Structures are given as C-alpha cells and as structure tokens.
Copies of this chain bind each other. A is one copy, B any other.
Amino acid sequence: MQKMDIQIQDEFWNRYTELVRNTVIPYQWEALNDRIENAEPSYAIQNFKIAAGHMEGEFGGWIFQDSDLYKWLEAVAYSLRRHPDPELEHIADEAIDLIGQAQHENGYVNTYFTIQEPGREWSNMYEAHELYCAGHMIEAAVAYYQATGKRKLLDIACRFVDLINRTFGTQPDQIRAYCGHQEIELALVKLHELTGEARYLNLSRYFIDERGTKPSYFVEEWERRGRTSIWNQGTPNLEVYQSHLPVREQTVAVGHSVRAVYMYTAMADLARLTGDAKLRVACERLWANTTGKQMYITGGIGATHLGEAFTFDYDLPNDTVYAETCASIGLIFWARRMLRLDMKSEYADVMERALFNNVLGSMSKDGQHFFYVNPLEVWPDASLHNPDRRHVKPVRQKWFGCSCCPPNVARLLSSLNEYIYDVSHDGKTVFTHLYIGSEATFELACGKVRLRQRAALPWEGRVEFQVSLPEGGNNAEFELALRIPAWFQKGQPLLNVNGEAQSYDVDKGYAKVNRIWTEGDLAEWLLPMETTLIAAHPAIRADAGRAAIQRGPLVYCLEEADNGKPLTSLSLSNEPNLSDYLDAELLGGCVVVEGDGLVTDDTAWPEGQLYRPLSKETTAVRFKAIPYFLWGNRQAGEMSVWMRQ
C-alpha cells in the first residue's frame, strides 16, 4: 500500500471531528473516572489503579472493562494526530503509565484477573475476554505510536503479545485455544503492519485457523472448569462465538454480531496479506450473506438482543431489533478490509450506509448521549412496559455499564480520514470511496500528488477534486477512480474536468479516468440527489407493504414530534409528491423531506371497542421526515423508518 496522508476538511464532518475532540473524548475520560453524575459507573481507571497497587478495592464493571480505556486511548491517538494537544497527551501518557504499572513481570495485563482471580488467567477463554482486551490494547498502542512517536504503550503491548505468543499455539506446552471474543486477530495484523514482524501475523493466523476445529476447545475447557460458566448455562453455544465450524467453512453470519464482524475483518486482512484463496472466498460468502440477507437499511446488523446476535436470512424485525452500534462499526471495519482485498464499490456503499445512518445516529447532537441499540421503529410506551422491547431505548443514554459503543464511535469518527481513499498497488490509481471534504497527499508512481476534495454531502451530491503537484512538476499521469454510489440511480453521473465533460470507464462500480493531470486541474463529480422510496426484499416480512425514504446516503424517518401519533396510522399516498428543502434551523440544519400521506380516521372509534368492521376513511395530511441519524434529538416520542404504502 502506498503512503497517503489525509486530513478531513468538511463542513459536515468537521462538526463531528470537533465534537469527538472537544466533547466526546473529555466526556468519556470523565466517564472512565466515574465522574458523570447519574450515569452507570465505568470503574475502568479505578480497576487499573487497584491492579497497579495504588489503591485497594474490588474489581468493578464487566470482565472486559479494560477495553474501554484502550478504545479511549485509541481515539485520543487519532485526535492527537490531527490536533496536537499537550494537555490531552499528558493525560493519556499518565493513563499509559498506569497500564504499565498494572503489567505483570511476565507481560500479562488484565485488571480483572489481577484483582479478582489471580492465578486463574487463561482458564476461561470462552468468556473472560483476556485476548479481546489485549487486542484493544494493541490497537491503541499502534495508533498512539503513530500519532506521537511514543513507544511506551507499544512496548507494553509487545511484551504482552510475546507472552501470548509463547502461551498459545499448537506446541505441546502451549494452550491450543483462541478467544471467546474475536478482536486480537485484527489487532495483531495492525501490529504486524506497523512493525513488519511476521510472528504477529502468524499468531493472528493461528487464532483464525484454530477457531472452530474439533474437538472444541470451549467445550473441553468448560468440562475442565466443572461445567461452570459466567453468563451461559449448559454446553457452550459455539455458534454464538463463531466457533461451530472452521472459519473457512462458515457460510452464513451467525451468533454475536460484533464478534462476527471483528473476525471477518481479520479474515479479510489475512486473505490479503497471505493470499489465502479459501479465506478470501469465505469472506466474500459471509459478506454476501451479511449485507445481502441480514442487514437493516440503516446498515445495522444483529436482529435480536438475546445474544446480541444475527438470527437468520431476511429476519429483520424493526421493533425488537438490536442493530448494535459496535456491530455497525465492525461492519465498517470489515468493509474497509474488503476494499483493500478488492476495490468493489459495494463494499464502500455498505460502509457509507452504516456510517451515515446507524453509526451517526447512535450519538446525540451533544456528543454526550449514545444508543447501544439502534431501532428502526420506536414506541416509547412499549420500551417501558413490554419487556420484549426493554432493550430498545427511546432516548440516548448517558453511559452504559457495558459501554463498548461510545468509545468505539469516538475511535471510528476520529480516524475517518483512513476510510476515504486507497491507492492501487502499482501506485497509478487513486480510489475515492467516500465523498468527504479533505486534503490528501499521495505518493504515486508519478510522484507526489495532492487532492483537495470538496463535498457537500450528505445534503447535496456535488463533489470537486482539485489537483496539485507539490513537487513542482506541471504534469502527472494517474488514474482517478470515483465510486458511483448505489444510491445514484439515474444512469451514469456526470464528470467534468476543468468545466468539460469527461468520459470514463466503469470498473467494479468505480468511474475511472486516466489522464495527465496538471497543477490546478479541477474535477467535478455530479451526483444529484433524488428523494426515493425504497422497498425491502419481499422475504423481509417486517417490511412488507412498506417503504422507506432515502435521499442520497441518508435514510429518513418519521418522528412523533413532526407527525403526531400513532405513527402507524399514517400511510403513503399513492402519489406522495415528495419534496425536500433545507431547514437551516431544524436539528442544526438538515434537509427535510415532505410528502402526501393518509391518516386513518379514528375519531369514530367508540371508547372501549377494540375491533369493528373495516372502514377505509382517511384524512389527507402532509407528512415530514427527517434524516434517521438525527432522530431522538427532541423529546422522546414515536419514530419509524418504514411507512405503510
């Protein structure tokens, strides 16, 4: 992969980058230190202080609580890379010192086992998340080194990895196991790519290759533990942990959705780095299943809260949905890796869908409240009074006891610059996956090239690229490859270079124009947005007879605040005459969609009668839809993505 340096400069995204820097990161630091009033405590820093011997006490929070600190450090690293901040860096350095103090002589770091069950390390690979936490430490260490050049966390991580490398494997004196929650696999690839050390790649491959082999390590371990378990009863459920089959034999996405997509991410990395064709085919098959049969229109995945899991093909209920924030973030990780494996626009389409809808929607406008579950339909009373819907929150929460999602959002948004471009192996093509205003510098075969991208997304589909050649030459031959978004449905988009229409080839969903570029050349890429009604595949029972509104990459939704309740009384007119306009005041400014609808007339229902002969009396109304990612930023109320036709 060629070198790229990309900095986001975008009216829409700067708001998020700054929100993460100015609000999310400081807020989460307060949360990690248990200083947020009326929020569930995190215990993360306290656990490290106890493990480091600075204070006495019990371990608090979930067994994987350490990972919240690591994910925060990773987000801090990305933020420092763009915005140096000595004060923040100092806080981070102190947290890293604390981690070092909690590290054992042999390299081991995990505050739960240090505090609560010393001597029982690696005894519950099925549930104890030790390698999962190690993986997040590695990711943070790599990012922090890249941002600051400081090796301390990287050294801590490498010492830990060396211990893990000695401990796990196929040799007789090693534990032939893998982690119940995949994560270290993808982290080890990052460590390999930073250091060039083959052993990290081999360790990742070992974990992937070993997973799902028979006899099952998890079952044998459970027998040895006396058939006890932290959360689960009975024999380990191997599907939940994607350990029911060797990964190359897995054909459909099953089990805990975050574990699944973290694993698929590592598989795609390994397929690329090792040229393993079977692994690649498995990735493609799992991708087709996940995004072609088990994905919500918002890019959410995971249809049930029980096990936070995938269910089965076309089962995408909108009300009992899970669609965890972390799962969509993991889907974006995976999509990014699939692009590196094969530059096909469908991977970037899914990345964009999940980012603009499920992930952005998980955070409140103030950056201090988060959804863990991202429903497509909310009835606040049902969330309160029907236990089947209790996991669906009608308003974002301050912090969660299991708070994996908020720091995951922070690290994704602060590293979004890595998701925009790729350069082909031969250094001759620049691929643009996402239309996000940015300043990018590439080391291409032709030399150094800068691209200033200006984009008006998600509100308008105008994108400009201005070429500059910082090394002074006047000409540079390279190919610009621009993703044709799946949401653009009107033939081929128009590309102008210096005001003149430019023809292009289309390859795997990318418009490719190869030419000799000159300093100051301006490419305009025109993707006019249409508000479109979308239908779901007929096998998705939950969406039958319904339509969703999409405009560009944004899925829309109806809120009670604009349309009253029950929202289910509202249906689309046969000719809905959709219109859209920018409302600069609403929710910080957004494009609103309006349309003609019909409301069931319920004035004639006698009190206390539930059923009566059908009458089709309806009243015409003009409904109003807002972008899904902005829902729930006013008072609690009903929300729905899918409307009855």
Interface residues of chain A, those whose CB is within 8 Å of chain B, are 288, 291-293, 295, 297, 303-307, 309, 311-312, 315, 317, 319-320, 379, 381-382, 385-388, 489, 532-541, 544-545, 547-548, 566, 568-569, 571, 600, 602, 605, 607-616, 644-645
**Distance in Å: Cβ of A550 to nearest Cβ of chain B:** 8
Among the interface residues A307, A315, A571, A611, which one has the most CB atoms of the partner chain B within 10 A?
A: A611
Chain B residues whose CB sits within 8 angstroms of the CB of A319 once the complex forms: 317
Q: Which residues of B contact A536 (CB under 8 A)?
A: 610-611
14 additional A-B residue pairs with CB within 8 Å, beyond A317-B319, A489-B613, A545-B568: A288-B608, A303-B386, A311-B385, A320-B388, A533-B613, A534-B611, A534-B614, A535-B613, A536-B610, A536-B611, A537-B610, A538-B605, A545-B644, A548-B611
Question: Given A609-B292, A644-B545, A645-B616, is A385 in contact with B537 using a C-beta cutoff of 8 Å?
Answer: no
Given A303-B386, A566-B538, answer yes or no on A614-B311 (Cβ-Cβ < 8 Å): no
Smallest beta-carbon distance A532→chain B, Å: 5
* Chain B residues whose CB sits within 8 angstroms of the CB of A616 once the complex forms: 645
Q: List 12 A-B contacts (CB under 8 A).
A: A291-B610, A305-B388, A311-B382, A311-B386, A311-B387, A312-B386, A315-B385, A320-B320, A534-B611, A537-B610, A540-B610, A544-B600
A610 touches B306 (CB 8 A): no
Minimal beta-carbon separation of A239 from chain B (angstroms): 10
Which residues of the partner chain B approach A602 to less than 8 Å between Cβ atoms? 537-539
Assembled-state Cα–Cα distance A537/B614 (Å): 10
Judging by beta carbons under 8 Å apart, are B541 and A566 in contact? Answer: yes
Which 7 pairs show the lowest CB-CB distances between chains A and B? Answer: A544-B568, A292-B608, A312-B385, A306-B387, A538-B602, A533-B614, A311-B386
- In the assembled complex, the Cα of A471 lies from the Cα of B645 at a distance in Å of 67
CB distance from A442 to the nearest CB of B (A): 33
- Asked whether B537 lies within 8 Å of A297 as measured between CB atoms, the reply is no
Closest Cβ–Cβ distance, residue A561 to chain B (whole Å): 17
B-side contacts of A605, CB under 8 Å:
537-538
Q: How far is the CA of A305 from the CA of B645 in the complex (A)?
A: 31
User: In the complex, A390→B309 CA distance in Å?
Assistant: 14
Q: How far is the CA of A19 from the CA of B297 in the complex (A)?
A: 50
Tell me if B535 and A388 are in contact (CB < 8 A).
no
For A541, the chain B residues whose CB sits under 8 A away are 379, 566, 568
Nearest B residue to A294, CB-CB: B610
Q: Name A613's closest neighbour in chain B (CB-CB).
A: B532
Instruction: Looking at the assembled complex, report how far the CB atom of A628 sits from the nearest CB atom of chain B, in whole angstroms.
Output: 14
Residues of B within 8 A of A382 (CB): 311-312, 315
Which residue of B has the minimal Cβ distance to A539? B566
**A571 to B382, alpha carbons, bound, how many Å?**
27
Using Cβ atoms and an 8 Å threshold, which residues of chain B touch A320? 320, 388
Q: Complex Cα distance A309/B388, Å?
A: 11
Contact A388 B385 (CB under 8 A): no
A540-B295 Cα distance, complex, nearest whole Å: 27
CA distance A320 to B391 in the complex (A): 15
| Residues A612 and B535 in contact in the complex (CB < 8 Å), given A306-B387, A312-B385, A386-B304 | yes
Minimum Cβ distance to chain B for residue A284 (Å): 11
> Contacts of A610 on B, CB cut-off 8 Å?
291-293, 295, 297, 536-537, 540
Question: A467 to chain B: closest CB distance in Å?
Answer: 35
Write out the residue numbers on chain B whose beta carbons fall within 8 Å of the beta carbon of A540: 610
Given the known inter-chain contacts A315-B386, A602-B538, please indicate yes or no for A544 contacting B532, CB distance below 8 A: no
Contact call B644/A535, Cβ cutoff below 8 A: no
CB nearest to A320 among chain B residues: B388
Report the Cα distance A295→B295, complex, angstroms.
Answer: 34
- Would A614 and B388 count as touching, CB distance under 8 A? no
Task: Kindly report which residue of chain B lies nearest to residue A353, judged by CB atoms.
Answer: B611
Complex Cα–Cα for A127 and B379 (A): 32
Separation of A548 and B613 alpha carbons in the complex (Å): 9
Contacts of A566 in B (CB 8 A): 538-539, 541, 544
